[in-house]
Structures are given as C-alpha cells and as structure tokens.
Structure 1
Amino acid sequence: MRRQGLLHAELNRVIAAMGHTDTLVIADVGLPVPPGVRCIDLAVLPGVPSFMDVFEAVYTELAVEAFTLAAEIHERNPAMVALADRLSQEGLERSEVSHEDFKRLCSRAVAVVRTGETAPYANIILHAGVTF
C-alpha cells in the first residue's frame, strides 16, 4: 500500500505503463469515451471527484510535455483557461482544437479518466513526456 500520492491502483498502472507521446485524458462526467478506449471511471456524485482534484493527483505522477484542450473553454470555462495559462507558463506545449476534434483525439488515448466534474469543457489530453 502506498503511503501518499496517487492511491488508485488502476490509474497508477496506466501511468506507469505510458511511453513518450502516449496520451491520457482527464474528463468531465459527460465526455463520451470512444469504443475500445479504457475508461477509469472515478465519478461518484455530480462534482465528486472534481476535475481539478483528479488533474493535480495525475499531474504529480505523470511526466507531461504537452496538453490539448477544447477551444470552447474561452467562452465557457474560465477555470480551464487559468489552468491552460499555468501549464503554458510551466513550459508545456499547448494545443487547442474544437470540441469535436477533441473528442476524435480521445480515440487515441491510453485511457480516459472520468471525473464527476459538471463544469462545461472540463477536459484535457495530457501528452506524456520523458524524465531524462
């Protein structure tokens, strides 16, 4: 048993097995999971767990070099805009695509982590980096 950090066994296994440029999606409760893509469903109640709680837990464990968001965040989700700005300031490469294109990109993900988040467009694709 781990003492600290990410405790979810399945999510830990997925992160540990990821290679450079593999992608992991952290999603709100409504994002459709493409057929054939593993879904790690953490949703318990609306808002539980929140997108940000899950994001921060994953982000501390995964080497990330880039991220992708839906461009619609600018109109509908200021918290996601703030997160994108923070990650860009940390040196991560930023991509924004339409929500429809975002959903298509999810089909290439190693997994989609479904949160209980109900805020619109609270979704991110994390592109794995390397630690060396």
Structure 2
Amino acid sequence: MKKHGILNRELAGRFAKLGHTDRIVIADCGLPIPDGVPCIDLSYKLGEPGFLSILEVVLDDLVVEGAVLADEIQTENRGLSNELMKALPNISYVPHEEFKRLTEKAKFIIRTGETTPYANVILQCGVIF
C-alpha cells in the first residue's frame, strides 16, 4: 500500500501516465463532462469533497506549469479566485463556454462535490527537470 501521495488507485495510475503539456481538469459537481473524456467522480454529497482540498492534493503530486480558469470566476467567486491566484502558476482566463470546450481535450476530469460557482480549473502538466 502506498504511504504518500494520491491513494486513489485510479488517480494514481492516471497521474503516472501524464506527460509534459498534458491537461487534466478539476471540476465542481455541475461542470458538464464531455463525451469520451474519462471522469473520476470523487463526489459523495453536495460540497464534499471540496474543490480546494482536491486541488491541494493534486498540486502536491503533479508538476503544473499553467492553469486555465473561466473569466467569470473573477466576479462570481472572488474568494476562490483569490486563493487560486496564490496557488497556481501562469493562469490564463477564457469565457466559461470556451472553458467547457477546452475540457474536451483533457486526459481526464476529476469531479468534486464543490457547489460554488465556476470552481473549475484546467491544469497543464510540467516536467520535473
């Protein structure tokens, strides 16, 4: 049994297969999941697990070189937006409709139980060297 890092077997296995520039999504419970994109659904009730708790664990396990957020988070969820500006490198913003289109190219989506508006991020993997 693993002692550190992601304990979820499916996540750990998928993380091990990611390469430079691959993208994953951490999503709230309302983001549509595009056909053909695998979804690892961690939600077990409204609000749980929360977006930030999952993001923190993911950032501890992956090298992330960039992030994409929906423009709307800056006005509709300022508290989370401020937290993400501290936690994420090289953030770019796109309209929410474009964000949803970009999720179609993700390797997979991690669905949380988060219920606050626009609590979604596309993470682009970096390299360890």
The TM-score range, normalised by the shorter chain, is over 0.9
1:87 corresponds to: 87
* Structure 2: stretches of 5+ with no match in the other structure: none
Q: CA deviation at 1:43?
A: 0.6
What is the rounded CA distance, in whole Å, between the counterparts of 1:80 and 1:96 in structure 2? 14
Give me the TM-score of the superposition, normalised by structure 1.
0.94
What is the total number of aligned residue pairs between the two structures? 129
What is the rounded CA distance, in whole Å, between the counterparts of 1:57 and 1:3 in structure 2? 14
RMSD over equivalenced CA pairs, Å: 1.0
Indicate the percent of aligned positions where both proteins have the same amino acid: 47
Deviations 1:100-128 (A, max 9, x none): 00000000000000000000100000000
SS of equivalent residue, structure 1 residue 105: helix
1:97 matches 2:94? yes
1:107 matches 2:104? yes
Paired letter, 2:35: P
Give me the TM-score of the superposition, normalised by structure 2.
0.96
- Write out aligned runs for 1:45-124 (5 A): 45-87=45-87, 92-124=89-121
What is the rounded CA distance, in whole Å, between the counterparts of 2:73 and 2:67 in structure 1? 14
* Structure 1: stretches of 5+ with no match in the other structure: none
Q: Which runs of 4+ in 1 moved over 6 A?
A: none
